[in-house]
Structure 1
Amino acid sequence: MQLDAPDNHAGAAEAHGDAHALLPPVDVLENGLIALIAPTEGSSLVHCEGARRKLQDSLLAAAVAWVELIAFMGETFFAMILSLVCRSCAAAAIQVVLSTSTTSSVCESLWDATFVCLYVLRRSASNFHQPSLRAWIRRLGLYPFSLSSLAIAWIVYQVVGFLAVWSYQRHTNEWIWSWGNYYSVDGTSATHELQRSHILEILVLSPIKEELVFRGVAFHVLSNRVPNHPKAAALCVSIVFGCTHLVNLMHAKFSVLYVAIQTCLGVQIGFFYGLQYLHTGSLFQVIVLHIVNNLLSSFTSTQMDITASALLQFLLWHSVVLYGLLIRWSMAQLCAKAARPGSAFKRD
């Protein structure tokens, strides 16, 4: 799908069906931090005569973009806390009225994910002066549902490779994968009860939330200030995305080595997702890629000792090399797009 460049009316651009050019949906109005500290009267547009020029494509604009990104991440964390408070109050009220507890871990996970996603969507739509929430959803690429040929080929390759490695382990009876993450919340000692909410979170809800927050809104927060450097914005977002995995060091179920690998691969894989988002304009596609990645990697122990298994070492380096090639391929796709006559896509 393609996102049109903004016209002279804020939020007027809509998503369309052609996947040939993606411009970062830069708001024609001043917004974010600058609009907060120095608001303009009415709804003057940047292209109107006498209107204030929007702060973009300068060192100051880049600095402001990072401040706005940090503020956005902080507000997202606030939304998570607010969701927890609302859920706890609702559960307490239900318990008082019905004299029983009706909460379940699955319902709690669904509530938290829905609350955070709707909060982020509504706040970002307002920040970028979108005419409606539906228009913003289409502009982000959450709809329509579509996958590129590269995404389909990569998913098929991952699934076939997973089955091949599983067959090899079954044949040799040397297992590096386990069901521990599905039967144990802490990932250390498996229980006999399937952790449904944990599975739902890591396989579906987390990919949706993370892609919406990072490849969706955070990318647009940066590209809003540096529209001529979309690939640099995608790289910066992927670095932030990877570094968020460092919070897992606070949990005993994750080994230091696992978190280090998770962080580095998070940066690399996140950059690939960002480039594909630039190329296709489909946030739905990167969500699907993220879900498949989480599914196939969920059989790896969070306490893994990579030095103890040659197969595990091979799979790690195999992933690093392949994602490197995918990044190179995606960069070539974007360069070819920028070279097309009449293309408004920016090189950086």
Structure 2
Amino acid sequence: MNYLVTGGAGYIGGTVTRLLLQRGYTVTVYDNLCHSNRTALPDGATFVQGDLAQRDLLIDTLSKGKFDGVFHFAALIEAGESMNRPDLYFRNNTVGTLSLLECMQNTGANHLVFSSTAACYGEPKRTPIQEDDELLPTNPYGESKLLSESMMKWFGSQMGLRYAILRYFNVAGAVTGYGEAHEPESHLIPLILDAALGLRDSIRIYGQDYPTPDGTCVRDYIHVQDLADAHLLAMDSLNRQNRAIYNIGNGQGFSVRQVIESARRVTGRDIHVIEEARRPGDPAVLVASSDRIMRDLGWKPNFSDLDSIIASAWEWHQKLRAK
């Protein structure tokens, strides 16, 4: 099997690329390296440096590759940044996805697994969230992904695209030799681990008055290996079904304070906390129901304990920062 991975030099895309290679598949990574670098690419993957807006390059890549499927991760992912620069997010995420869909249509590629987000739901009316719950994003990041989902629906019904949408929650952890390292970093767990290593003075908690047990935001954390497994199962399922939408999560919620306490246990380090005001666009609680993908595809998370997820990230993080 031969696959194209857009955004394959990133954290999640890079993990999926490694899993595909481990299983003996041929992989081409298409990435503009805007938040990553070539050192993140695994041996064995063909690399094309390009942006989704470069239609000629994208069509040439798809035409030459004759891919069995496309995994689409290329996107900007910072909800807070999207509140300040919605234009960047709609251009990069939504228009970029449209370019990919058109180029796939032009070259005959019609199997797509799309990296979506729990941010499509906005403030959920119930927990855990199910796939048919109302979609009301509270930030442009979530809206940019939801618009992309809407385009896939029409490309599917009118043009024969077979697609799986994976809406996932907070991703963490590391696999052997590869973990989370965004530049700049804004995700909670790697920031906490930087504080544990003394590379930053403190970790900030944004908002202490949410309607949650301890007043801080609650999120569902999924290990990146479990998430990668779900992507491969979803791609395989497109040989049996035309479309699918799945939540990917552990079904457990942990507050920001609980994540910090877990990191203190795992690292054995003191982590100084500074409390700040809420950030706009942050929902109070996001916890997934993954019953559908468990039932349909037999997926289940192997890393359900927060301490074990953070422990794998801590092992990777220490090696990363020692370089």
TM-score (norm 1): 0.28
Q: Where is the strand percentage greater, Structure 1 or Structure 2? A: 2
Question: RCO greater where, 1 or 2, for CA within 8 Å and sep 6 or more?
Answer: 1
Q: Where is the helix percentage greater, Structure 1 or Structure 2? A: 1
Q: Which has the larger radius of gyration?
A: 1
TM-score (norm 2): 0.30
